[in-house]
Amino acid sequence: MEKKYDTGLMWFRRDLRAFDNAALYHALRACRQLHCVFILDTDILDALPRADRRVEFILAALDELDAALCRLAPHGGHGGLIWRLGSARQEIPELAHALHAQAVFANHDDEPPAMARDAQVRGALAGMGAALLTSKDQAIFERGEVLTQAGTPYSVFTPYKAAWLKKVDAFYLSSYPVARHAEALAPRPEGDRRPVPSLADIGFEPTNLAELKIPLGASGGQQLFEEFFDRMDQYHLARDYPAVKGPSYLGVHLRFGTVSIRQLASSAQQLTAQGMQGPAVWLSELIWRDFYMQILAHFPHAAESAFKPEYDAVKWERGKHADALFAAWCEGRTGYPLVDAAMAQINQSGYMHNRLRMVTASFLTKHLGLDWRWGEAYFAEKLNDFDMSANNGGWQWAASTGCDAQPYFRIFNPVTQSERFDAEGKFIRRYLPQLANLPPPLLHAPWKASAIELAAAGIELGRDYPHPVVDHAEARERTLARYAVVKKPLAGKKTTAKRR
């Protein structure tokens, strides 16, 4: 195959692996020599707290990526990753110019801020006669690949999933053979033959990431997937219980591309074809990920306002009392143990179990009456696996403002959720040790305990654990009234709903 470009630049972003990488594969095939770069983008970094697990995760992934590129390169130690600290809007055009690159290759990122950045980079490159060429890599189907028969984007998941499953085949799930074309990897310029920077080098501080023992880099992603593969057949039974090792824990690896979505979906599909229910349910979760990505691509307004514009009429609580309630939610002081334990989990680890993401989001919006955007922003700051489309989709689902969302009158009862999904209280005891001596019936609702029972457990409400900040039944009635501006109950029809 004749090479189209003499020199190219591969721009890694949220695809931090040297295998099965679409843009890297296309760049290697198109260029006689290819340089690889990662920009530690100050437009993003400057908005983060100085101790951020995601930055630490990225640096560890870059170390592995650098080593992998060196192994692939025909010139060994002179290969590897160029890195820059600065604004990608400036650094990419400047580096492309310095290297005399005719094309910059990258994988799609459809988040609105990333789209704006890419448009600016594309314009700057065009001004110097170079191109920005992007590829699909982080989804099986994206943008307009799965549409209704009328050619419009889906806004309901079930028909989208059916169309997704109908369209998917071996072509969409096959990997890109990067190593086969690695001879095009160019030696780094002498001034760029330096190791990946440390946290201190870029003005950040260590976190507790090492204590959490999260497997890092592409090797860590592969390790987690292999562990999950052996229990994927039980996923449908275990996934809702936060004290059970049920999820894949691959969220952060999917977010930063240290695993291949094609490998994951292909494995799940093959096991599903054998009639296994667990892989089928997990595959459905991967399809949800594609679904939310294409929603944000087609409806970028959802990043800042309700997907359903009529829900912008909902009046959320404001003022000092609302601020106090939000602080109690953030700090795990609501008086509802499952909610507080979940918030302790995210605050301590940057991870929250998926069932608990729904419970805590529902509690914020439908018990406290607070704007879903407050919670969305808090999760965006805290989650290791923060992904704008999934985070936005999940919060709008819980608040009933999004596409295919739960009905506005469906309000999770946090006590019922606790009794059902943490019946023995193992999860609550782990994150709220002050409640450890309460027996399960009372552990889920300490305010129901008698003075004698509380004393026997060594607990004084208001001192060792807070009283509930709201009453469930009263909060439910306020929520139904709050949403009445959008959905009027049908005459003669009760608005009660089955609680889960």
Question: CA 240 to CA 245: how far, in whole Å?
Answer: 10
Q: Are residues 339 and 250 in the same domain?
A: no
Q: Are residues 40 and 99 in the same domain?
A: yes
Of 240, 266, 298, the domain-final residue? 298
CA torsion sign for 473, 477, 482, 484 is positive
Q: Are residues 327 and 436 in the same domain?
A: yes
Distances (CA, A) of 295 to 116, 165, 191, 207, 356: 17, 18, 43, 33, 23
Enumerate the active-site residues: 285, 288, 316, 354, 372, 395
Of 254, 276, 298, the domain-final residue? 298
Contact by Cβ (8 Å): 443, 428: yes
Q: Are residues 367 and 342 in the same domain?
A: yes
CATH of the domain at 241: 1.25.40.80
Contact by Cβ (8 Å): 161, 294: no
Structure tokens, 80: 């590897």
Give a yes or no: residue 161 inside a domain.
yes
Per-residue model confidence as pLDDT tens digits over 135-159: 999 999 999 999 999 999 999 999 9
Which of 497, 475, 481 is CA-nearest to residue 339?
A: 475
Domain count for the chain = 3
Going across the sheet that includes 103-107, the strands are 82-86, 31-41, 5-12, 103-107, 131-135
Q: Are residues 249 and 318 in the same domain?
A: no
Contacts of 320 (CB under 8 A, 6+ apart): none
Per-residue model confidence as pLDDT tens digits over 260-292: 999 999 999 999 999 999 999 999 999 999 999
Q: Are residues 278 and 148 in the same domain?
A: yes
CATH of the domain at 343: 1.10.579.10
Q: Are residues 279 and 171 in the same domain?
A: yes
Question: CA 449 to CA 20: how far, in whole Å?
Answer: 56
Question: CA 484 to CA 491: how far, in whole Å?
Answer: 13
Q: Are residues 7 and 64 in the same domain?
A: yes
Q: Which pLDDT value is given to residue 492?
A: 37
* Angle (CA) 125 131 137, round 5°: 115
Give a yes or no: residue 184 inside a domain.
no
What residues make up the domain containing 125? 1-137
Per-residue model confidence as pLDDT tens digits over 429-453: 999 999 999 999 999 999 999 999 9
CATH of the domain at 127: 3.40.50.620
Q: What is the pLDDT along the chain (500 residues), one digit of tens a residue?
A: 789 999 999 999 999 999 999 999 999 999 999 999 999 999 999 999 999 999 999 999 999 999 999 999 987 667 899 999 999 999 999 999 999 999 999 999 999 999 999 999 999 999 999 999 999 999 999 999 999 999 999 999 999 999 999 999 999 999 999 999 999 999 999 999 999 999 999 999 999 999 999 999 999 999 999 999 999 999 999 999 999 999 999 999 999 999 999 999 999 999 999 999 999 999 999 999 999 999 999 999 999 999 999 999 999 999 999 999 999 999 999 999 999 999 999 999 999 999 999 999 999 999 999 999 999 999 999 999 999 999 999 999 999 999 988 888 899 999 999 999 999 999 999 999 999 999 999 999 999 999 999 999 999 999 999 999 999 999 999 999 999 998 654 333 343 333 23
Give a yes or no: residue 194 inside a domain.
no
